[in-house]
Structure 1
Amino acid sequence: MSYFTQTAIKHISSTRLKLLRRRLGKLYGVERADRLLDRMYQMIGRYGVGVGLSPSGQNTGLSQQDVVLITYADMVQSKGRAPLDILREFCSQHLKGAVSTVHLLPFYPWTSDDGFSVVDYRQVHPDYGKWNDIEKFSKEFQLMFDLVLNHCSSKSPWFKEFVSGVEPGMNYIMEGDPEADLSAVVRPRSSPLLTPYQTRGGEKNVWTTFSADQVDLDWTCPDLLFEFLDIILFYLSMGCRILRLDAVAFLWKKLGTNCLHLPETHEVIKLIRNFVEVVAPETILLTETNVPHEENVSYFGKGDEAHAVYQFSLPPLLLHGLLRGTSKHLRNWAANLAPPPRGCYFLNFTASHDGVGVRPLEGILPKEEVLSLAKEIEGKGGKVSMRSMSDGSESPYELNVTYYSALSDPKQTELGEARFLCSQALALSLQGIPAVYFHSLCATPNDQEGFGETGRARTLNRKKWQLNELESMLEKKNTTGSKVFDWYVTTLRKRGSAPAFHPDASQEILDLGDSIFGLVRSSVDGNQSIVCLYNFLPKTCPVKPMNKLNKWFTSGHAKDLITGGEIEWTNKGLKLRPFQALWLLSH
């Protein structure tokens, strides 16, 4: 590891120092700010993450070739080999030129929630491999790491120190008063908010937002902040480019509030942003806040918080539209979507390791439509996870299903495949950065066998592949998984050649009625436009009015970027096959 030289330290501008001091003062008191800033300054001096990078604090280098693959470290397994090495080799052989960044879901030692109950943030789970496997990966792909800020495992050294009354862990864990009125607290689970634990000082009630094993951390303790800043520096030195701030909306707690999106939470994110701008300016901060859209985009701040936020409304809206045969709600939502601040981006996805969250539909879809969608997903072999409401009732929180199973049709396989590919093409064409879950690449169906073993609904969407099984499936060109995988790799590579799909390229939503969703992406330099059309019906549908497309086409034909073929239309107009997706290059 190199060291941050005195010359590099001088790049820290007085403006940035004032920002850091102000943020520390807001969080921990003005009287402590200077001392904490000195401590931060010394920490920066011990690391060399920033050497050789521009001190401008601006993210550079994003392009239409930036695509994120979401995957577990042990998604692909083979006896006698480290899963991380297998995954790297698989990605290198199959996904070069299609994917630029690999999001390695928590690869640390953990005890529950498939990785999100972290025991030790600085170690690689021995079942997955070692740090040198991560470093090898970083030489071939950019990497995204998870920073699980809200909680840690009840088996972690920090919690053991809390139980024993030993520093520093004794100050890191969030306690709660069972006599206090906590009814306003918003959380995504129906399990108890407080969990009693026996400690050296007697029974203590610990805040457990997500589960009894995931004990919440106390961010009012500045030592905890510095613990995580050190972890961030370590991750950056190990090849991390994107930091995903997991469940960050719940980070700061304050009695008498809903403990969600508190000003202090936003201040912590701004502080981390300013910190990484100093040590590694090309780092991207991504916040994971699965909440209604307006709350979600608040994490852009004024362009001074997250560089990217998940487009959480997209997966359920797209799913609803394709199952109901209407693009109405998706079109209205997309047409009224405020663009993010300059230098900020939406991460567009349809599926991830979690289920399809439905809270982001609040204010967009009527409640009865959400309930109907949940019921239909259950009919497709999925499960519906619930959350506790303040009145004691429960409401759907998440649809646990693979995106392919949600859109497939067992009676009409090819139609189901077309509907699924339509959903994927649409997500890839939206303004922002696309992210693709490993199981979407392979059109993986619900893992009913895995669910039977664990009893956990999310297991349906978290199948682990054996390498020989996966390779055998990909070699059989007539299987759904093989066809979808080939389509994906080919389409992503073609997308990467089109400047109109640059994250900063403009986007215009077309009103072509409820049956067809249309949008136009135009390159930053104005030299390329791509008209994207998607049929939401299981039958052939004409594009109308065609005059809406005259601006981009001077003749009755255009090249489809997806297939490479010429698309022609007559005076009668252009017709799209059932669930067809077109990316038409404007002449």
Structure 2
Amino acid sequence: MENNNPNSIIYNGVMLNAYPDSIGEKLSDTINMLKMPEFKDVFSLFYVLPTFFNSDLDRGFSIIDYNLNEDLVSKEDLKDLEQLNIQLKFDIVLNHLSVASPQFKDLLKRGNKSKYKDFFINWNAFWEGNGEMGTDGVIIPKEKFLNKLFMRKSGLPILKVLFPDGSDQPYWNTFYQQISYDKIKVSDLRRFKELNCWKAAFIFKNINKAVKGNTDFNKINLGDSKHLKSEVVQLINEKRSYLGQMDVNAKSELVWDFYEETFAKLKDYGCKILRLDAFAYLHKEVGQSNFFNKPGTWHYLERIKQIADKNNLMLLPEIHAEYGLNLHDEVAKEGYQIYDFFLPGLMIHTLEKGSNKALLTWTKEIISKGYKTVNMLGCHDGIPVLDLKGKEVNSVYNKGLLEDNEIEAIMNKIIERGGRVKNLYDPSGKKISYYQVNATFFSALGEDEQKLLLARAIQMFMPGTPQVWYLDIFAGKNNYDAADKGGSGGHKEINRTTLSINDVENGIKKDVVMNQLEIIRLRNTSKAFLGKIKINEALEDEIDITWALNEDYAQLKANLKTYQFTINYTQPGINKVLSY
């Protein structure tokens, strides 16, 4: 009987992960790399990050629209990938759109008359009756509600935007936001007929000084022209521009129409797997945390699944949460494939401690509960740390995969090796937890090639679909210059170095690259990985895992102290061995 449910499919091949311009300058350069003989049969899937679409910040995760970014991608690229028999995975950023999206631009232009007035979330309208108006015109939710909010940054999650009627309106903004002002020109002051050239020069200088210093425009020294204050502030606001990821209002049917249109468009691009970015923030309700609210998030997810099924798309919900919260288990029980965000930290712990205990505990859970996972070592984001922790749920503490002191040891080790840290905050701006540490996986392992090779081998023998960050293949090191140039939000750039075609050509001359490709190719092509996995008895400082299907098998035996390992396998019907 044919199975038409895309969410029941398990993709067993290996998935490449990169931006369209991670290799060279355009997606076509990555495709040319994949056409090289060294990359033959290495990958079956390609997760192309969302600069594939039109976006304006957060390296693609602030979507303007889901049309092809023609600076990086062409329709010919899609045809080439299809001919290479490489299936595609894309993102839909469910929670937010860019301020530069057509919908938000219409809201800024038309204000309350906009068709999209309710497409986004007016903070004051949302909290009306459940807080007090502050002096800045923003409602402060009651403390019992505010304390529950899950924050990604310090301060209230809002962006205040100027409406055509001159009012400042606060809109919900969980992630990034920025307001900028262009300096005024002398000619802008011509509207003030009463100003002579000396007064105009004085006001011109003070306005631009305030704009540059981002100071209170109501306190600009206007000399004896104080009566022009409101008109001057209006002039400055005309020069206002925004960057930001604006939360959409999933209670609006227009948002669901947009999802319908977008899913169909992604299907036309050849998408098979759709990553639901930031979906856990989508449902918002007074009195809940605005992170995976229940049952609202489940209702939204079911509706999204119905749209996906119509377009034959497999969904991959993206959730970063503590292991002890058991969200991974809840999502998996609903039949969804889940991200294995636990593996990166567990891998570092395993190799640093020379102990298989924590890793095998998680591996056995995947097997026993039948989780369908996508796993990784490095990725476009950081190395998740929060995910490994325990969590108190309904007054019962559920243990994490690691103890807090073990997690702290991982953090400290990676930071010693040059990693940068990302944190989470409470509404007052106080840090409540580490979130991620940003580093290349190679640098996180102390830039030890044998460790990286063993980490890759273990990943290839883990249950689930292995996802491989392009930079890890080439043993990429921390890029401190890129992180520093990126400013306060530049920590992620440490692991996003663009590789030239020359870098690729030099890379394939190195053992650490070619050995990884050899192991990945085995995982991508061996029928053994379509079969069953067995965790063999081994000492604590060893790993022994076998995959088998009929006569085909592959067995990894590794020493976690020396990092030496062998892979015994059949190809086809002939016993072979790889020793590293």
Bin of the TM-score, shorter chain as denominator length? 0.7 to 0.9
Distance 1:529 1:561 in 2: 6
Q: Within the alignment, does 1:56 sit opposite 2:4 as a pair?
A: yes
- CA deviation map 1:392-416 (0-9, x unaligned): 333110010000111134xxxxxx1
2 CA distance for matches of 1:192 and 1:352? 29
Moved more, 192-201 or 314-323: 192-201
The one of 89, 106, 129 equivalent to 2:32 is 89
**2:177 counterpart of 1:207:** no
Match of 2:91 in 1: 146
Instruction: Pick one of 486, 490, 496 that aligns with 2:524.
Output: 496
Length-normalised TM-score, structure 1: 0.75
Q: Do residues 105 (structure 1) and 70 (structure 2) align?
A: no
Question: How far does residue 279 in structure 1 lie from its aligned partner after superposition?
Answer: 3.4
Matched, 1:126 2:153: no
For the pair 1:67 / 2:14, whether they are aligned, the reply is yes
Q: Structure 1 377/564 Cα, relative in aligned 2: closer, same or farther at 3 Å?
A: farther
Contact 2:438/2:492 (CA < 8 Å) preserved in 1? yes
Question: Matched residues in 1 for 2:431 and 2:422: separation?
Answer: 13
**Hey, what does 1:185 align to over in structure 2?**
149
Asked if the contact 1:162–1:171 (Cα under 8 Å) also holds between the matched residues in 2, the reply is no
- Which residue type is aligned with residue 318 of structure 2? E
C-alpha distance in structure 1 between counterparts of 2:120 and 2:69, whole Å: 23
Q: TM-score, normalised by structure 2?
A: 0.75
Structure number with the bigger relative contact order (C-alpha 8 A, sep ≥ 6) is 2
Q: Is 1:216 equivalent to 2:253 in the alignment?
A: no
2:468 is equivalent to residue 468 of structure 1: no
Which residue of 196, 216, 221 corresponds with 2:160? 196
Q: 1:467 to 1:272 in 2, by over 3 A?
A: same
2: CA distance, partners of 1:139 / 1:269: 33
Question: Residues 499 and 160 from structure 1, CA distance in 2 versus in 1: closer, same or farther, beyond 3 angstroms?
Answer: same
Counterpart-to-counterpart distance in 2, 1:193 and 1:337? 36
* 1:426 Cα deviation from its structure 2 partner: 0.6
2:104 counterpart residue number: 159
Query: What is the DSSP-based 3-state SS (H/G/I as helix, E as strand, rest coil) of the residue aligned with 1:196?
Result: strand
Structure having the higher Rg: 2
Partner residue of 2:378 out of 351, 359, 362: 351
Q: What residue is the counterpart of 1:48 in the other structure?
A: none
- CA change 1:279–1:333 in 2 (3 A) is closer
Any unmatched runs of 5+ in structure 2? 125-138, 178-243, 390-399
Q: Tell me how far apart the structure 1 counterparts of residues 377 and 79 of structure 2 sit (CA, whole Å).
A: 29
1:387 counterpart SS class: strand
Deviation at 1:349, TM superposition (A): 1.1
Q: Deviations over 1:36-70 (max 9, x none)?
A: xxxxxxxxxxxxxxxxxx78335687564x11110
In structure 2, what is the equivalent of residue 370 of structure 1?
A: 407
Provide the residue aligned with 2:315 in structure 1: 285
Q: Please give the alpha-carbon distance, in whole angstroms, between the structure 2 residues aligned to 1:397 and 1:272.
A: 27
| One of 432, 444, 460 as aligned partner of 2:476 | 444
1:565 Cα offset (Å): 5.2
**DSSP 3-state at the match of 1:70:** strand
Q: Does the CA contact (< 8 Å) of 1:494 and 1:561 recur in 2? A: no
| Number of residues of Structure 1 aligned to a counterpart in Structure 2 | 473
Distance 1:533-1:225 versus aligned 2 partners, 3 A rule? same
Alignment match of 1:402 (pick from 440, 456, 465)? 440
Whether contact under 8 Å (2:14, 2:523) holds in the other structure is no
The residue that corresponds to 1:534 in the other structure is 558
Change in Cα spacing, 1:199 to 1:208, as seen in structure 2 (3 Å) is same
The worse-fitting range, judged by mean Cα deviation, of 91-100 and 387-396 is 387-396
Q: SS at the partner of 1:128?
A: coil
Give the distance between the partners of 1:241 and 1:330, measured in 2 at CA.
Answer: 30
1:315 to 319, 333, 344: 344
- Offset at residue 378 of structure 1 (A): 1.3
C-alpha contact (below 8 Å) 1:219/1:252 kept by paired residues? yes
Q: Which runs of 4+ in 1 moved over 6 A?
A: 561-564
Contact 2:152 2:424 in 1 (8 A): yes
Q: Secondary structure at the match of 1:197?
A: strand
Q: Which has the higher strand share?
A: 2
SS at match of 1:137: helix
Per the alignment, in what secondary structure is the counterpart of residue 465 of structure 1? Answer: coil
Q: Per the alignment, in what secondary structure is the counterpart of residue 73 of structure 1?
A: coil
CA RMSD of aligned residues (A): 2.8
Partner Cα distance (2:116, 2:76) in 1? 28
Q: Distance in 1 between matches of 2:376 and 2:33?
A: 22
The 1:188–1:434 alpha-carbon spacing in structure 2 relative to 1, beyond 3 Å, is: same
Match of 1:576 in 2: none
Deviations 1:523-548 (CA, angstroms, capped at 9, x unpaired): 3xx5444432232213779xxxxxxx
> What is the rounded CA distance, in whole Å, between the counterparts of 1:119 and 1:211 in structure 2?
14
Q: How far is 1:176 from its partner?
A: 2.0
| CA offset digits 1:150-195 (Å, max 9, x no partner) | 1111222221122232544322112224321322122444464223
* Alignment partners' CA distance in 2, 1:296 and 1:62: 17
Q: Distance in 2 between matches of 1:73 and 1:428?
A: 24
CA contact (8 A) 1:266 1:299 kept: no
3-state SS, counterpart of residue 377 of structure 1: helix
Describe the superposition over 1:338-372 as per-residue Cα deviations: whole angstroms up to 9, x where unpaired. Answer: 6455xx61012111110111111112212222222
Do 2:347 and 2:359's aligned partners in 1 also have CA atoms closer than 8 Å? Answer: yes
Contact 1:331 1:511 in 2 (8 A): no
Flag the 1:390–1:536 CA change in 2: closer, same or farther, 3 A: farther
In the other structure, the counterpart of 2:202 is none
Partner of 1:266: 298
Please give the alpha-carbon distance, in whole angstroms, between the structure 2 residues aligned to 1:537 and 1:188. 38
Measure, in 1, the Cα distance between the counterparts of 2:507 and 2:42: 20
SS in 2 for 1:501: helix
The verdict on how the C-alpha distance between 1:340 and 1:170 changes in structure 2, with shifts beyond 3 A counting, is farther
In structure 1, the gaps of 5 or more residues are 1-53, 410-415, 542-556, 568-579, 582-587
In 2, are the aligned partners of 1:135 and 1:238 still within 8 Å (CA)? no
* CA apart distance, 1:226: 1.4
Checking the alignment, whether the CA contact within 8 Å between 2:283 and 2:300 is kept in structure 1 is no
Aligned to 2:355: 326
Would the alpha carbon gap of residues 558 and 393 (structure 1) be closer, same or farther in structure 2, given more than 3 Å must change?
Answer: closer
Per-residue CA distance 1:438-472 (angstroms, 9 max, x = gap): 11111111112212321310000111112223323
C-alpha separation between the residues in 2 aligned to 1:356 and 1:564? Answer: 37
The answer to whether residue 516 in structure 2 is matched with residue 506 in structure 1 is no
Quote the residue 1:16 is aligned against: none
| SS of aligned partner of 2:249 | coil
8 Å CA contact retained: 2:553, 2:569: no
Could you tell me which residue of structure 2 aligns to residue 360 of structure 1?
Answer: 387
Structure 1 residues 207 and 439, CA, compared in 2 at 3 Å: closer, same or farther?
A: same
Q: For the structure 1 residues 55 and 371, does the alpha-carbon distance in structure 2 shift closer, same or farther, using more than 3 Å as the test?
A: closer
**Aligned partners of 2:53, 2:552: CA distance in 1, in Å?**
44
Cα distance, 1:496–1:155 mapped onto 2, change above 3 Å: closer
Range with bigger deviation, 448-457 or 435-444:
448-457
The range that moved more, 359-368 or 487-496, is 487-496
Q: Post-superposition shift, 1:249?
A: 1.1
Q: Which amino acid aligns with 2:296?
A: E
Q: Tell me the amino acid that sits aligned with residue 5 of structure 2.
A: G
Separation of aligned partners in 1, 2:575 and 2:443: 28
Aligned residue for 1:458?
A: 492
Cα pair 1:291 1:312 within 8 Å, conserved: no
Partner residue, 1:544: none
Measured at CA, do residues 223 and 161 of structure 1 come closer, stay the same or move farther in structure 2, by a change above 3 Å?
Answer: same
Which residue type is aligned with residue 470 of structure 2? F
Maintained 8 Å contact 2:28/2:77: yes
